[in-house]
Amino acid sequence: MIKHFAALSGNLYPRMMKEPVFTVQPNSCVFFVGIKGTGMSALAELLLNAGVRVSGSDTGDIFYTDAILKELGVPYVETFDAAHIHDGVDFVVYSAAYSPETHPELLEASRRGIPLFKYTDALGAYSANFDSSGIAGVHGKTTTTALAGSLLKGARLPAQILAGSAVSVFNGHSTLSLGNGYFVAETCEYRRHFLSFHPKRIVLTSVESDHQDYYPTYESIRDAFIEYGRKLPPGGELVYCADDEGACEVAETLRKEQRGLVFTPYGFTARGDFGIKRFSVENERLVFELNAFAEPFALRIPGRHNALNAAAALALVSSIARTENRAAGVTALSAGSMTKAQLEGARRGLERFRGSKRRSEIIGEKNGVLFMDDYAHHPTAIKTTIEGLKTFYPNRRLIVSFMPHTYTRTAALLDEFATAFDGADALLLHKVYASARETYSGGVTGRTLFEKIETIKEEEYAPRAKEILYVEEPLDALPLVKPMLKAGDLFLTMGAGDNWKLGKALLEEA
């Protein structure tokens, strides 16, 4: 049961002089504006499990969350109208996509004196009720959160988990409820949203330049992560990737400030319990060993980067297990501060993991062609994902369809994008998938990236994709790509846009 739920930043209720503080009890009524969003529907599910009456509104577009909301029995309308807000609503949670200054439902809530919570602030308020852990980083946070959930489930630790995507071991949901002792959530760096969160532990996977519309320099995004780390209380723990220069810089800055924090590195170069000392790919499994554990771990998703994500998740779950076991007076512990049963369960949970939606997600296989979709939209994530797939599937020809996301990111990282696809055997590029948070200025486009790669593809220092094509609209490429595919190929749609529709259409027509 949630005992306390408070607004934790300004701007939540623009017409009140003071921030609202609430006691949310069973049968309290919460209305979600933009309820189909992944985070919004996940938070709605957590509140529903706590006995709160949840409802909401959104557009008529179909998302995977429609099925989840209907399965949960959450009522929602597919229009936005002030009439949906009534005095029986205790407070309103809204997506950052909507403005309290213009949205009809948010304006009506303000007029009635109903407090407003932005999603990230509501999530932060929720986290204050638990021993909470935030998973952050430019790359890997969704998979690391999902892996942590699978490990916690296997180890039977009483936690709630919220990931930024649907997860197979969460029964296709973005949340998993195992108890009320701990809360593990993916926390987002964009616009410093993670500063609303109340962490006792932070997992930091990576720090590098991204979201250039908000963080124009590397230093600006790095400083945001440092600010997040400063939210850890004395005795709080920073689990960080020793292989990532930015994560190490954040950790070193916090270490010098002598805040009484615990620093736990993980990775191939890490010293200590969670250093990876051996790594291989065997029978379409990642197999790796950690310093603190006698037996190796196995993971059925591709990529060296996922061994890092798994090590991060194991470090986090070990810390939670240590806290839980100390509170229970358990002293006979195995490696990683877990009991033997917890460790065995965690090991099984890791091997049962099959990934999350749009993270190296297998869409299907037909006529010997494997179709996969991945959300990678930053050059570093693209490069590591392709390398992982080529190692995991060494005998498959890799054909990549990529749709850039945001004009500012494409322009700022154009050179990095141009070399990120070197491991692909063929590359199909599309237009930039626009973001509502920016306005096209007539500069860099998807074709600009295509021309950049074409210009340098003959240079000797880097092998390029053997065939590079540009088709503005993804579905217009259907008749062009169909004859290219042959048995043994891997066709991968990649990016944060909607080119996944091309992979789905090719699978259906194969």
CATH number at residue 438: 3.90.190.20
- On the question of pLDDT at 22 being above 90, the answer is no
Q: Which pLDDT score, from 0 to 100, does residue 7 have?
A: 40
Residue 93: both structure tokens together: 């949670």
Kindly report the number of other CB atoms within 10 A of residue 53's CB atom: 17
Q: Are residues 501 and 374 in the same domain?
A: yes
Identify whether 185 is part of a domain. yes
Q: Are residues 347 and 378 in the same domain?
A: no
Residues near 341 by beta carbon (within 8 Å), at least 6 away in sequence: 156
Residues near 247 by beta carbon (within 8 Å), at least 6 away in sequence: 137, 204, 205, 206, 207, 240, 241
Q: Are residues 326 and 249 in the same domain?
A: yes
Q: Which pLDDT score, from 0 to 100, does residue 9 have?
A: 36
Identify whether 14 is part of a domain. yes
Q: Which pLDDT score, from 0 to 100, does residue 330 have?
A: 84
Q: For residue 465, what are the CA distances in angstroms to 116, 214, 279, 424, 477? A: 50, 32, 27, 5, 18
Identify whether 365 is part of a domain. yes
* 439/193: higher pLDDT: 193
Q: Are residues 339 and 376 in the same domain?
A: no
Q: Are residues 55 and 135 in the same domain?
A: no
Q: Are residues 105 and 157 in the same domain?
A: no
Identify whether 125 is part of a domain. no
- On the question of pLDDT at 476 being above 60, the answer is yes
Identify whether 71 is part of a domain. yes
CA dihedral 332, 336, 341, 346 (to 10 degrees): 170
Assign 3-class secondary structure to 377-407. CCHHHHHHHHHHHHHHCCCCEEEEEEECECH
Kindly report the number of other CB atoms within 10 A of residue 83's CB atom: 10
Single residue among 86, 118, 150 that ends a domain in this structure: 118
Q: How many whole angstroms separate alpha carbon 92 and alpha carbon 85?
A: 9
- On the question of pLDDT at 3 being above 70, the answer is no
Total residues belonging to the chain: 510
- On the question of pLDDT at 471 being above 60, the answer is yes
Residue 186: both structure tokens together: 């993916």
- On the question of pLDDT at 213 being above 90, the answer is no
Single residue among 63, 88, 118 that ends a domain in this structure: 118
Single residue among 81, 98, 118 that ends a domain in this structure: 118
**Range among 280-284, 306-310, 493-497 with highest mean pLDDT value:** 306-310
CATH of the domain at 13: 3.40.50.720
3-state SS assignment for residue 288: strand
* 460/445: higher pLDDT: 445
Q: Are residues 101 and 141 in the same domain?
A: no
- The dihedral through the CA atoms of 130, 136, 141, 144 has a sign that is negative
Q: What average pLDDT does range 489-506 have in this prediction?
A: 90
How high is the mean pLDDT of the chain?
Answer: 88
- On the question of pLDDT at 183 being above 60, the answer is yes
Q: What are phi and psi of 188, to 5 degrees?
A: -100, 135
Number of domains in the chain: 3
Q: Which pLDDT score, from 0 to 100, does residue 154 have?
A: 96
Identify whether 124 is part of a domain. no
Tell me, what DSSP letter sits at residue 167? Answer: B
Triad 370, 309, 424: Cα angle to 5°: 35
Of the pLDDT bands very low, low, confident and very high (cuts 50, 70, 90), residue 120 is very high
- Give the closest residue to 141 by CA, choosing from 175, 103, 182, 185: 185
Q: How many whole angstroms separate alpha carbon 261 and alpha carbon 250?
A: 13
**Residue 116 in contact with residue 109, Cβ under 8 Å?**
yes
Q: Are residues 338 and 394 in the same domain?
A: no
Residue 67: both structure tokens together: 């099925």
Q: What average pLDDT does range 103-119 have in this prediction?
A: 95
Q: For residue 286, what are the CA distances in angstroms to 25, 216, 280, 311? A: 45, 36, 6, 12
Of the pLDDT bands very low, low, confident and very high (cuts 50, 70, 90), residue 441 is low
Q: Which pLDDT score, from 0 to 100, does residue 508 have?
A: 87
Q: Are residues 379 and 486 in the same domain?
A: yes
Of all residues in the chain, the percent with pLDDT exceeding 90 is 59
Q: In 217-353, where does DSSP find H-type helix?
A: 218-229, 245-256, 304-327, 340-352
Q: Which pLDDT score, from 0 to 100, does residue 359 have?
A: 66
Q: What average pLDDT does range 118-136 have in this prediction?
A: 94
Q: Are residues 31 and 98 in the same domain?
A: yes
Q: Are residues 339 and 372 in the same domain?
A: no
- On the question of pLDDT at 306 being above 70, the answer is yes
Q: What average pLDDT does range 347-375 have in this prediction?
A: 82
Q: Which pLDDT score, from 0 to 100, does residue 357 have?
A: 61
Instruction: Give me the helix-helix angle, 340-352 and 304-327, nearest 10°.
Output: 150
Identify whether 123 is part of a domain. no
Q: How many whole angstroms separate alpha carbon 188 and alpha carbon 135?
A: 8
pTM listed for this prediction: 0.78
Instruction: Give the domain extent around 398.
Output: 361-509
* 190/260: higher pLDDT: 260
- On the question of pLDDT at 16 being above 70, the answer is no
- On the question of pLDDT at 220 being above 90, the answer is yes
Q: How many CA atoms lie within 13 A of 303 on its CB side?
A: 23
Of the pLDDT bands very low, low, confident and very high (cuts 50, 70, 90), residue 413 is confident
pLDDT digits (tens, 9 = 90+) for 81-98: 999 999 999 999 999 889
- On the question of pLDDT at 462 being above 60, the answer is no
Q: Are residues 348 and 383 in the same domain?
A: no
